[in-house]
Each structure stands twice: as structure tokens, then as C-alpha cells.
Amino acid sequence: MSKRTLAIAAALGATTIYGLNHTIAKGAMPHYVQPYGFIMVRVIGAALLFWAISFLGPKERIAKKDYLRILLCAFLGMGLNMLAFFKGLDLSTPINSAVLITITPIIVVLLSAVLIKERIGPRKFTGVTIGLLGAVGLIVFGAEQRVDAPNVPLGNLYIFANSIFYGSYLIVVKTLTDKYHPFTFMKWLFSLGILICLPFGYGEFVQINWPALPFDALWRIVFVVVGTTFLTYLFNVFALSQLRASTLSAFVYVQPLIGMVFAVLSGQDTLGTVKMVAAGLVLLGVYLASRKPRMGRRHS
């Protein structure tokens, strides 16, 4: 099996875990753990896991010229990204989260145009516009009265911000994936992530009553730490070593499908008209924005 095939499998594995995570993580918040406290559990757990397996990789040192990039990646991927997503998921619903997260490829297209001067042709521009309309529509009109979703518009806004941070992370981290073994920089990224998230999550982290947590909460926490954090970041780093950031971000298409089906089947969310229309607009926009141009056409 070629490395590219393995990279595609890893990307599909990561996006499947992410799709399930919208509902699984939501089930633990806020009754058993608050969102920022949950993030502290994530970054601490992932840092320990990456340090534990780091001996399996080569002995490498991070070059001094890459220190700033490492710090920026930690802020975007292990700090702002996670904090915004879990706060948004706490305030909003699993399906809203699954839909809004698909805006990431559009963010990557826009950032690629700004940072690496990649041209946005008419089709990509149309896709970006449609996708953003869907996202804005869900943020503005997707509010619903639910006990476990106290502020859906604000939560949707947090999740939208998460897509911006994660899209930025995919672009910035690409240089590191080309230069270092995943174990080398992931252990440092999550170690820095602990320091970055500490001011936000310490208070909620120490409030977690571990002895009193039921099994239903514990398995969800383990899934988030091992699956949604450790495995997905490992899968994505490997996928980035073989695929472009824009290609990897396109795998997010699968997330709303998995997220919606799992949320509805588990009884933790419902699929209304606004969500369906918004999801359709976002997916259409993402498809147009990230589809490769046909041979002979250079304007897209």
C-alpha cells in the first residue's frame, strides 16, 4: 500500500473520529466537565501520550529558526482552536457544530490566497461566497431552545472561529511536517498547549470531581483524549506529509454526514429545515471552492 493511500486512510479516520466527537464530547459537557477544563484534560493527556511514544521516532532537535513557527502552531492548533471549539460545542448543538466545521476548506482557500498568493478564480470565489452564506445563515437563524444549548448563536460563532484557527494551523504546520518526524514536534506542540490553555482552563480543570464521574462520562473523556486528540492529530500530521493542506481540509466533507447521522440516531439532536439548508449551502460552497480545475483551465 502506497504512502499516499495510507495518508488518505488516515485523513478519513481522523474526520470520522471528528464526526463522532461532536455528539460524544457534548454528552460530557457541562454536567461532568466544563469546556475549558475539558481542554486541559485533552492537552495534558495528549502531551503525555506523545512523550510516551516519542522514543519510537528518531532523535531530532527543533532548529532555533523554527521556534516561532512551533509556538504559532501551538497557539493555533492546541490553544485557540480547541478552546473555541469546545466552548462553541458547549453553547450550541452537535449538528450545528458538524455543519460549521466544514467551513474549514474555505478558510484554507482564503488564507492560501493571502499568505501564499494562491489565486482565487471565479468558481472558487463563488464557492467561498455560498459557503460563507450558509455558515452565516446557521449562525444567525440556527438558534433553538434547548437546555443543553444555552446560547446557540454565540456557540456557532465560536465554532466558526475554530474553523479559522484550524485552517490557519493546517497551513502553518505544513512546513514542520515536511521537516520533522511527527513525534518530534507534536510532543512539543501539546506541551506548549498546556501552558497556553492553563490561564483559561485551570479553574474548571481543578473543579472536575474525578472519583464521582460515572462510566458514561469517563469513556467520553477517554475518547476525546485518545481518539479526538492523540489519534486525529497523529493521523492528520501523517496525512499532511503526503497531501496538500487544501486536500486534507477537503476531507471535512465527511464530518457533517457522520455527525448528523450519529447525533440523530443517538437522540442528542434533531435535523430541521434551517440546518439542512445551511448544510447544503456550506457543502456546495466547499465543493466549488476546493474542487481541482479541469485540465486546460487555469482560472480557478
pLDDT at residue 299, as a whole number? 38
For residue 183, give its domain range.
3-290
Mean pLDDT of 129-140: 70
Total domain count for the chain?
Answer: 1
- The answer to whether position 177 is within a domain reads yes
Pull the grid cell for residue 288.
Answer: 466549488
Q: Please indicate whether residue 300 or residue 81 has the higher confidence score (pLDDT).
A: 81
- The answer to whether position 104 is within a domain reads yes
pLDDT at residue 201, as a whole number? 95
Task: Measure the CA–CA gap between 133 and 135, rounded to whole angstroms.
Answer: 5
Q: Which residues contact 75 (CB under 8 A, 6 or more apart)?
A: 196
Task: Measure the CA–CA gap between 55 and 57, rounded to whole angstroms.
Answer: 5
Cis previous bond, 58, omega within 30: no
- The answer to whether position 298 is within a domain reads no
pLDDT tens digits, one per residue of 82-102: 999 999 989 988 877 877 777
- The answer to whether position 194 is within a domain reads yes
253: pLDDT strictly greater than 70: no
Alpha carbon 133 to its chain centroid, in Å, reads 20
- The answer to whether position 296 is within a domain reads no
Mean pLDDT of 121-140: 72
pLDDT at residue 297, as a whole number? 43
- The answer to whether position 297 is within a domain reads no
Q: Please indicate whether residue 164 or residue 213 has the higher confidence score (pLDDT).
A: 213
Mean pLDDT of 243-269: 73
- The answer to whether position 170 is within a domain reads yes
126: pLDDT strictly greater than 90: no
- The answer to whether position 178 is within a domain reads yes
Give the chain's largest Cα–Cα span.
63
Q: Strand ranges (DSSP E) for the chain?
A: none
Nearest to 202 by CA among 75, 83, 55, 61: 83
